[in-house]
């Protein structure tokens, strides 16, 4: 199959490289010439484990090429995927679809043969209808099918998620050609027995939002249980295990923490709320999830101040991890942003170390001193706070850290340090969802 991928952001670049690795002929298109030049010379625009090798080997094999020219990119393509950004629109939280529609127009104008246009970007229900309307209006002469194929990959595990998905969802309006093209594109996955689920286009669009909103709800539920555990003297990790062993609930996405962040859950939950309101069917449970999660991030700042005895003025707080989760340099909606703000508002000085996120984080938090590793961060600090559970923080020498600190206060917002080990190092430990 000849595939064109419009947009070399997270989803576009990973999907394009993986499709090429399946043996398809892939052209990735991006307007940003600097970005294309960087990728071609082996520098990835994002940090994602394994991506540079995957792009490099497929480019070397001639299956993966890059261009800034949409018209050249779409020539002869069986399917053109739209994988451009759909950020929250400033002011009202609706998904901003201007990039999707602009891409659709350019693709359609450049087409010289029937083709399938696939939206991979996360787009609200009805976006496929509008893309189809654009296609009919601009090129009534061509048979252009519009398909929805939402992406479920996670940052930091994107290549594995793409190649071994739990399912692939494809929404069509019933066109046999579209179904045949999509089946052919995903045929290599049948080896992994990944279910290829065909459904209506609007349904596929909604599945993406429903999945992310459900996962965000699961996290927010366990976070509220964590607060309750702290109040009543229970252990949230055991509550999570105790409910997660029930197959109907499942054990995943039940890790209590500082609240979800990233480029997807915050934006997608908000967009689903807006869609519900627009159709007069409010999704109240998700409205609440959005509010609870927003408040939680700043509340983590207050939790740290409390661990310091209630007064953070003139104290130094060392943060380990800034990105919204490990194995990424993505700082979008990271809990660390609200935590830093709350600590600075309380008069604390903040130092921080993150393995990949400091370059992106530094301009977002100009008052924070970025340092070279966890031990340097702890030096002279009054509190050490684990914000993001990078592997490198799991095997730290707690005794060495404690010995260099002004006050031995450890706040573990991801519950990775065993209480006994922290106590042995002399730390006063605060965790999420338990009193010890
Ligand atoms: C999420 C979904 O997991 C993907 O399926 C989806 O494709 C993607 O959004 C998307 O829409 O593009 P991602 O944002 O990369 O993926 O990261 P997750 O691993 O889902 O984590 C999201 C946030 O939830 C992080 O801040 C993480 O720390 C938090 N989280 C996750 C918890 O606090 N507890 C958990 O148990 C799990």
Which residue puts its alpha carbon closest to atom 23 of ligand 1? Answer: 260
Residue that finishes a domain, picked among 136, 159, 194: 194
- 281's CB contacts (< 8 A; 6+ apart) are none
Percent of the chain with pLDDT over 90: 94
Looking at the fold, whether 77 and 216 belong to one and the same domain comes out as no
Q: pLDDT for 334-364, tens place per residue?
A: 999 999 999 999 999 999 999 999 999 999 9
* Exposure of 272 in the CB half-sphere (CA atoms within 13 A): 27
pLDDT exceeds 80 at position 192: no
Which of 113, 31, 48 shows the shortest CA–CA distance to 78? 113
CA distance 99 to 122: 12
Q: How far is the CA of 378 from the centre of ligand 1 (A)?
A: 28
Residue that finishes a domain, picked among 135, 166, 194: 194
- State the angle between helix axes of 127-138 and 201-232 in degrees (0 to 180), rounded to the nearest 10: 150
Looking at the fold, whether 168 and 257 belong to one and the same domain comes out as no
85 lines ligand 1 (CB under 6 A): no
Domain of residue 180: give its range.
Answer: 2-194
Q: pLDDT for 275-305, tens place per residue?
A: 999 999 999 999 999 999 999 999 999 999 9
- Exposure string of 145-162, with b = 16+ CB inside 10 Å and e = fewer, is bbbbbbbbbebbbbbebb
pLDDT exceeds 90 at position 436: no
Strands (E), 211-323: 316-320
Handedness of CA 376, 377, 378, 379 (dihedral sign): positive
Looking at the fold, whether 112 and 208 belong to one and the same domain comes out as no
Q: pLDDT for 371-404, tens place per residue?
A: 999 999 999 999 999 999 999 999 999 999 999 9
How many domains, the chain? 2
Evaluate whether 167 touches 190 at the Cβ level (below 8 Å).
Answer: no
Q: pLDDT for 110-143, tens place per residue?
A: 999 999 999 999 999 999 999 999 999 999 999 9
Q: What is the pLDDT of residue 2?
A: 97
* Exposure of 54 in the CB half-sphere (CA atoms within 13 A): 22
Neighbour-count burial of 174, counting CB atoms closer than 10 A to its CB (0-12 exposed, 13-18 middle, 19+ buried) = exposed
Vertex 12: Cα angle to 332 and 96 (nearest 5): 55
Residue 264 annotated as catalytic: yes
154 lines ligand 1 (CB under 6 A): yes
Q: How far is the CA of 79 from the centre of ligand 1 (A)?
A: 28
Overall residue count recorded for the chain in this entry: 436
Q: What is the pLDDT of residue 27?
A: 98
Residue that finishes a domain, picked among 165, 194, 223: 194
261 lines ligand 1 (CB under 6 A): yes
């Amino acid at each position: 199959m000849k595939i064109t991928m419009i947009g070399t952001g997270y989803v576009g670049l990973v999907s394009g490289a993986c499709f090429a690795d399946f043996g398809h002929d892939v052209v990735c298109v991006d307007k940003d010439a600097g970005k294309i030049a960087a990728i071609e010379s082996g520098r990835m625009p994002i940090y994602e484990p394994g991506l540079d090798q995957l792009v490099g080997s497929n480019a070397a094999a001639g299956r993966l090429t890059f261009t800034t020219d949409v018209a050249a990119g779409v020539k002869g393509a069986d399917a053109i995927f739209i994988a451009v950004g759909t950020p929250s629109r400033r002011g009202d939280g609706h998904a901003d679809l201007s990039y999707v529609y602009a891409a659709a127009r350019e693709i359609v104008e450049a087409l010289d043969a029937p083709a399938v246009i696939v939206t991979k970007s996360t787009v609200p229900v009805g976006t496929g209808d509008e893309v189809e309307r654009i296609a009919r209006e601009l090129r009534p002469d061509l048979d252009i099918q519009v398909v929805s194929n939402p992406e479920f990959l996670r940052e930091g595990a994107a290549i594995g998620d793409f190649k071994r998905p739990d399912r692939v969802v494809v929404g069509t309006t019933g066109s046999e050609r579209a179904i045949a093209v999509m089946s052919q594109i995903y045929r290599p996955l049948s080896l992994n027995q990944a279910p290829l689920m065909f459904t209506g286009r609007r349904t596929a669009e909604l599945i993406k939002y429903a999945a992310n909103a459900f996962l965000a709800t699961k996290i927010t539920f366990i976070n509220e249980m964590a607060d309750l555990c702290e109040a009543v003297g229970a252990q949230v990790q055991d509550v999570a295990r105790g409910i997660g062993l029930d197959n109907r609930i499942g054990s995943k996405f039940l890790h209590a923490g500082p609240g979800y962040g990233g480029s997807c859950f915050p934006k997608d939950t908000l967009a689903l709320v807006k869609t519900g309101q627009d159709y007069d069917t409010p999704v109240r449970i998700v409205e609440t999830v959005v509010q609870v999660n927003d408040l939680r991030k700043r509340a983590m700042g207050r939790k740290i101040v409390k661990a310091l005895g209630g007064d953070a003025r003139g104290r130094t707080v060392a943060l380990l991890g800034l990105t919204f989760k490990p194995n990424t340099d993505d700082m979008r909606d990271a809990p660390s942003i609200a935590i830093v703000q709350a600590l600075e508002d309380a008069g604390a000085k903040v130092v921080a170390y993150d393995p990949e996120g400091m370059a992106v984080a530094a301009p977002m938090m100009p008052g924070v001193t970025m340092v070279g590793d966890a031990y340097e961060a702890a030096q002279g600090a009054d509190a050490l706070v684990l914000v993001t559970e990078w592997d490198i923080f799991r095997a730290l020498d707690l005794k060495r850290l404690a010995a260099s600190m002004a006050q031995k206060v450890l706040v573990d917002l991801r519950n990775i340090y065993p209480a006994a080990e922290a106590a042995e190092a002399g730390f006063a430990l605060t965790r999420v969802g338990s009193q010890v």
